[in-house]
Chain A
Amino acid sequence: MKQDVTPQTLFLEISVLLTGFNKAELYGTGMFDTYYHALQANTGQANFMYFFEEVEKILLENGNAAEKINQAITSRLMQPSSYNGLAGSIITMWYTGNWGNDVIDGQAYVQGLVWDAAQAHPPGAKQPGFGSWSMPPL
């Protein structure tokens, strides 16, 4: 069964490719809807539309060929000049919970992928429990 293609599904697909985290991990942050809305709010309508048209093209053209998709993303989305650097902003958003220098949401800091990637936890939140520092990692 093929899901309908919407900007949301494309945002999810491209987020997986840009962050290296899988769908369950991205949804698991609980930030998907918040980030989608932040993306919409912070991107000009035309730029938003062209970006996702390009994302859809890249996905359609390359099927399941991961290497080709990566190459296409690098050459067509990752240039700072491409779509006002939108791809880079999406990566920053997922990893740090920020859009530019602005914090998107109170939960965004806690749910930033940067903590998982570093196998750490956000200071002041998601603590691993009293005394855990005295034990070797699980």
Chain B
Amino acid sequence: MSELLNKIYTESTTQPGNPKRQKLIKALPAVPVARLFTAEAAGREQFPQPLIRTLEDLKRNLQTAVALEHSTIPPYLCALYSIKEGTNTVASTIIRSVVVEEMLHMILAANILNAIGGKPVINQKEFVPTYPGYLPGSDKSFIVGLEKFSKESIDVFLKIEKPSPPLPKIDPEQAVDLLFEDPGFQTIGQFYQAIMLGIEYVNANTPGGIFINDPEIHKRQVTQEHYYGSGGMIVPVYSIENAREAIEEIVGQGEGIDDTIEDSDAKLFDQTTEYAHYFRFNELLMERMYAEDDTPKSGPTGEPIVVDWIAVHNMKANPKVADYKDQPDLLAKAKEFNQAYTQLLDQIHKACNGEPEQLMKGIALMYKLKYLATELMNIPLADSGMMAGPTFEFEP
């Protein structure tokens, strides 16, 4: 076993002939080992065991990945929709571009889960996060809520998209001493690294591998024909190579690759250079664009961005439909929003469970959500000077 892990640690595990991609994957083992491995094997083997070692664990964690990607969307949408029509064009464009990619990540995670025989669950009450709350699978170091566009909310978004810290090289001697105490992850990147390591490990230990070569399973993949008009590319997953590609896309778009501020799309898909989510949000907070040669350390040094922090609907944070019980008209509208949201989750569920063509039908619902959310943010609350907002609660 140590041989396999050694291979994962030290050799390229990705497609040959793509130096950029190799660099990205090579960073994989350089994660705080305590967070990726259990200490159960300490002393027994040269290397500790990966945290994810069974197919069932893998499926469970990929389901968490789907939930995690989804859980970022309502907070981003609240910030986006709170921006008053016709103002803050740059901010709107930036937040919107990130939301669209989070949707893509959700589908990519579902594609990987489907490829190994899992069944993504998206249309259940448990799937819908409670705000304010922690991100699924996180180490609970920060709370995410439904809030209007503000410096504070952008600061939380930066925490969500925070790149994994530069990490030490694996030292097998030291690794065995580390205890896996905390089941959560500091960054989304670490979580996906644990998943990728688990995929490599379980796949290598399963005769014939874990990627099911069956037309019926292949039909469950959401492909480019079902998904259009977004940053990045949908990657149908039929093999471990596709899974690596999908995870690179997810992590690269969020955090940037190889200590640069660019996201992975330009490298992987020849798209125009677009900065990773963390850096796009940082541009807003700093009210300045990144210039071409900027690095994470230099911060943005480009053109100033005009951010109008005042031209925002004053939405009361973390609303619940229960808050609206004394305003029946408002209550009805908030419920209408939640019904559309729940219906959308149901369509995405179907799309990820054998009916990928259902994804197109979700588009009309997404527009409906936007219009309803904007309407809610225009409705004053009777008990405060603040405005209502979408509550993103499960309402079948």
Q: Which A residues fall within an 8 A CB radius of B?
A: 22-25, 27-30, 32, 106-107, 126-132, 135, 138
Q: Is the interface of B mostly helix, strand, loop or mixed?
A: helix
Instruction: Answer whether A24 and B365 are a contact pair too, CB < 8 Å, given A29-B378, A126-B371, A131-B360.
Output: no
9 A-B contact pairs sorted by A residue (CB < 8 Å): A24-B332, A24-B379, A25-B329, A28-B378, A29-B375, A32-B378, A129-B366, A131-B360, A138-B343
Kindly list chain B residues whose C-beta atoms are within 8 Å of the C-beta of A27.
375, 378-380
Contact B330 A24 (CB under 8 A): yes
Shortest beta-carbon distance from A28 to chain B in Å:
3
In the bound complex, residues from chain A placing their C-beta under 8 Å from that of B371 are 126
Is B363 on the interface with A (CB-CB < 8 A)?
Answer: yes
B292 in contact (CB, < 8 A): no
Tell me, yes or no, whether B333 is within 8 Å of chain A by CB. Answer: yes
Beyond known contacts A25-B333, A30-B375: 6 more, CB 8 A cutoff = A24-B332, A27-B378, A28-B376, A32-B378, A128-B364, A132-B364
Secondary structure dominating the interface of A: loop
Q: How far is the CA of A27 from the CA of B365 in the complex (A)?
A: 22
Question: Is A138's CB under 8 angstroms from B376's CB?
Answer: no
Q: Is the CB of A138 within 8 A of B378?
A: no
Task: Judge if B269 is at the interface, Cβ distance under 8 Å.
Answer: no
| Chain B interfacial residues counted at CB < 8 A | 24
The minimal Cβ–Cβ distance linking B360 to chain A, given in whole angstroms, is 6
Of residues 204 to 236 in B, which have CB atoms within 8 Å of A's CB atoms?
A: 229
A28 in contact with B333 given A129-B363, A132-B363, A135-B361 (CB within 8 Å)? yes
- 7 tightest A-B contacts by CB? A28-B375, A24-B329, A129-B363, A30-B378, A22-B329, A132-B364, A27-B379
- Could you tell me which B residues sit within 8 Å of A by CB distance? 85-86, 229, 327, 329-330, 332-333, 343, 360-361, 363-368, 371, 374-376, 378-380
Taking A24-B327, A24-B330, A135-B361 as contacts, is the C-beta distance between A128 and B379 under 8 angstroms?
no
- Report the bound CA distance from A30 to B388 in whole Å: 12
B287 to chain A, nearest CB (A): 26
Contacts of A25 in B (CB 8 A): 329, 333, 375
Of A30, A127, A132, which is within 8 A of B374 by CB? A30
Q: Which residues of B are found within 8 Å of A127, using beta-carbon distances? A: 367
Cβ of B360: which chain A residues have Cβ within 8 Å of it? 131
Query: Which residues from A are CB-within-8-Å of B85?
Result: 30, 107
Q: Which residues of B contact A130 (CB under 8 A)?
A: 229, 363
A28 and B375 alpha carbons, distance in the complex (Å): 4
- Measured between alpha carbons, how far is A29 from B375 in the docked complex, in Å? 6
> Quick check: A28 and B379 within 8 Å, CB to CB?
yes
Q: Chain A contacts of B333 at CB under 8 A?
A: 24-25, 28
Find chain A residues with CB under 8 A from B366 CB.
129
Pairwise interchain contact B379-A138, C-beta atoms closer than 8 A: no
Per the bound structure, the CA–CA distance linking A97 and B169 in Å amounts to: 65
Question: Bound complex: CA of A22 vs CA of B327, how far in Å?
Answer: 11
- Given A23-B329, A24-B333, A30-B374, verify A131-B363 contact (CB < 8 Å): yes
Minimum Cβ distance to chain A for residue B96 (Å): 15
- CB contact between A129 and one of B332, B364, B375 (< 8 Å): that residue: B364
**A contact residues around B368 at 8 Å (CB):** 128, 138
**A32 to chain B: closest residue by CB:** B378
Across-interface contacts of B364 in A (CB, < 8 A): 128-129, 132, 135, 138
Q: Could you tell me the distance in whole angstroms from the C-beta of A33 to the nearest C-beta in chain B?
A: 10
Contacts of A129 in B (CB 8 A): 363-364, 366-367
- A129 and B368 CA atoms in complex are apart in Å by 9
Chain A residues contacting B361 (CB-CB under 8 Å) are 135
Q: How far is the CB of B114 from chain A (nearest CB, A)?
A: 24
A69–B215 alpha-carbon span in the complex (Å): 67
Measured between alpha carbons, how far is A83 from B173 in the docked complex, in Å?
A: 90
Least Cβ–Cβ distance between A86 and chain B, in angstroms:
24
Query: When chains A and B are docked, how far (Å) is the Cα of A106 from the Cα of B87?
Result: 13
